[in-house]
Amino acid sequence: MSETIPPLESKRVPKPEWLKIKLPSGVEYSDVKKNIKDNRLHTICESGQCPNQTECWGAGTATLMILGNVCTRSCMFCNVATGKPENVDITEPLRVAESVKLMGLQHVVITSVDRDDLTDGGAKIWAATIRAIRRHAPGVTMETLIGDFAGRWENLQQVIDVKPEVVSHNLETVKRLTREVRVQARYERSIEVLRRLKDGGIERTKSGIMLGLGETDEEIYEAMDDLRGAGVDILTLGQYLQPTRQHLAVQRYVSPEQFAEYKKIGLEKGFRYVESGPMVRSSYHAERHLI
């Protein structure tokens, strides 16, 4: 078992054929893009350079990102800008709700940047956004992909209190690599977030792990066990892709066959749903997780 992985590897692992991405096209794609621009919204699809943007926007869906598009953390896998965020926009919850209604969505995924600069970590805007969607687009179900609120549990409780149908918090990587990959995060703290969500009455909790950063199979299975121990229902496993040369290098490309094996093992461990594949990201096929 390897001890560490280099933070910035100059040698590149060749990208396999199965990771080629289609270019954006179609009326639905254009409509979603226009709606997001007109309502001055942000999406993790764009900020995070998600490889599924074409598929999701072409189907008329998107993962909206609240609390701005500048993060206070500097995770070594993420392409979202790091720095000093702008002031909180109190009109954002209403604009998000109106956009959700305009798109005619049945299910929406919402995430956010980390806002460690705020006393509440952005919890008030989170709660206000969920309430606004329920008020202006009744019947729309929600998945909220939240941060760890720096372990301030009173802030996490504000999200629990408004009870989104699915609450997700990503583990991102295995325990050994967390300090290098997630810098300001803590593995045990993320597990505790997920445990508190379940104990607080959230019916479906979810987490995701990126593969290809130097983890071993044994470490992946250990992370699965830790997530199940926290009551997590839904697991996503996808291939890490290096956004720029300043980010962590890919250590391996996991084959579709190996992803299928991880899915089989995850289901055997008791997850209700496992989305596992090279292109899978946190919100991939999110609407299926309510069935």
DSSP 119-150: TTTTHHHHHHHHHHHHHHSTT-EEEEE---GG
pLDDT at 237 over 80: yes
Q: Say which residue the tokens 């593969």 belong to.
A: 211
Alpha carbon distance 70, 190 (integer Å): 21
Which of 97-101, 224-228, 248-252 bottoms out in mean pLDDT, i.e. has the lowest?
97-101
pLDDT of residue 271: 98
pLDDT at 43 over 60: no
Taking a C-beta distance cutoff of 8 angstroms, is the pair 142, 110 a contact?
Answer: yes
Q: Say which residue the tokens 């909220």 belong to.
A: 144
- Which residues share a beta bridge with 64? 43, 110
67 — phi, psi (to 5°)? 70, 30
Sketch out the chain's domains with CATH numbers: 23-290 (3.20.20.70)
153-162: pLDDT as tens digits: 999 999 999 9
Q: Look at 41 and 86; give whichever has higher pLDDT.
A: 86
pLDDT of residue 30: 56
CA distances to 57, 62, 101, 180, 200 from 123, rounded to whole Å, are: 27, 22, 23, 27, 16
Which whole number is the average pLDDT over 109-122? 95
Res. 197 pLDDT band, cuts 50 70 90: very high
pTM assigned to the model:
0.84
pLDDT at 126 over 60: yes
Which whole number is the average pLDDT over 135-143? 93
pLDDT of residue 39: 56
